Amino acid sequence: MVSVEGQPDFSMESISYVARKALKNLIAQGKAPIPSVYEAAFINIAEREGMGGLVEFIYSTTGRRFSPEKIADEVAAVITEVKSDLGEYGERLEEHNSSLHEEQKQLEEASSIDDGIAAVEAVSGIISSILYANELMRASLENAYAKLHSREAQLQSLKNQTRLDPLTGSLNRRALRHDIELELARAKRYNRPFALVMADLDHFKEINDRFGHLVGDDVLKGFVMLVRSQIRQTDGLYRYGGEEFVILFRETELKTAGFVAERIRQTVESNVIKKKNEPGVQFSITASFGVTAVREEDGGPDAIISRADKALMAAKAAGRNRVVVEP
């Protein structure tokens, strides 16, 4: 294991805001705030408010990260449960319809009764039976409604999981492309800036070769923690592949992104990493960074990612452990 200084800091005000808004939305939608439903609502609000870092932190600290295979199994299980629920509901509906048909026949028979009192009693009994059948159906519908909301919450939770890297808890490559597309749309519509930073851990293979892949994994997790301690809740941190990461700075100009990237570089360089159970073994790492910002001609994620990658390659070619901001 690796000890890393620096923890992500989320204000109580922002967490309280998300919590209140999630509860308010559930009440407005008539949904019961049971744990699974409330959790999905909380994470949805956090993502919509641009607090991707908070979502990452929740999953990384609770250990609730799944592999793609696990997510597929969970989705299949939810689909099976929904099918079962629908089958049960269909049976109840058939029973209800059958009951109503029977009551209709009894009403027709009652209409032929000559004795007025007997006819009233017969109709009254039939009405009571109908009301009872309707009450059973209402309870069945409420139960089905609650189950479907629970399944919806499960699927939303799984959807959130598909955006995360299972090792580090950062967002993944798929989430990066999706989020860049959203930011590009905002940039074009509202003329709002955003910047992208691509980072690569220098000589990471040597760490794996020297200390083993478990330590290498811990180094990646530690790097994520360090970066989170230096960026805002509204920024996004993504594992692009291997030891490469991307930071999405929303509402940020190129110069500011370069400044923050340099601050992160210095933080990473000055951090001392110690092997668990081996206090005498310690080392440090460095990272290289390429910085770019959105341009008017950018038509999709590939253009801005490519520029950030070229800037990163320039930083590595210049000797690593540095930040290169595109001209």
With the CA atoms of 14, 17, 23 and 24 taken in that order, what torsion angle do they form, in degrees rounded to the nearest 10? -150
Calpha distance 6→273 (Å, rounded): 12
Q: How far apart are CA 175 and CA 198, in angstroms?
A: 15
Report the SS3 class of residue 195. Answer: strand
Contact 269, 292 (CB under 8 A): no
Among candidate residues 270, 227, 263, the one with its CA nearest the CA of residue 245: 227
To the query of whether residue 81 is one of the catalytic residues in this protein, the response is no
Contacts by 46-51, CB closer than 8 A, 24 or more apart: 46/18, 47/160, 49/17, 49/18, 49/21, 50/233, 50/234, 50/250, 51/14, 51/18, 51/233, 51/234
Alpha helix ranges (H) inside the chain? 12-28, 35-48, 52-62, 68-110, 116-161, 173-190, 204-211, 213-228, 254-270, 301-317
How many CA atoms lie within 13 Å of 15's alpha carbon, on the beta-carbon side? Answer: 10
Residue type, 120: V
Per-residue H/E/C for 224-240? HHHHHCCCCCCCEEEEE
List 39, 56, 183, 243, catalytic entry: 243
| Torsion on CA atoms 38, 43, 48, 49, rounded to nearest 10 | 100
Report the C-alpha gap between 312 and 196 in whole angstroms: 11
Strands 244-250 and 236-241: antiparallel
Positions marked active-site: 243
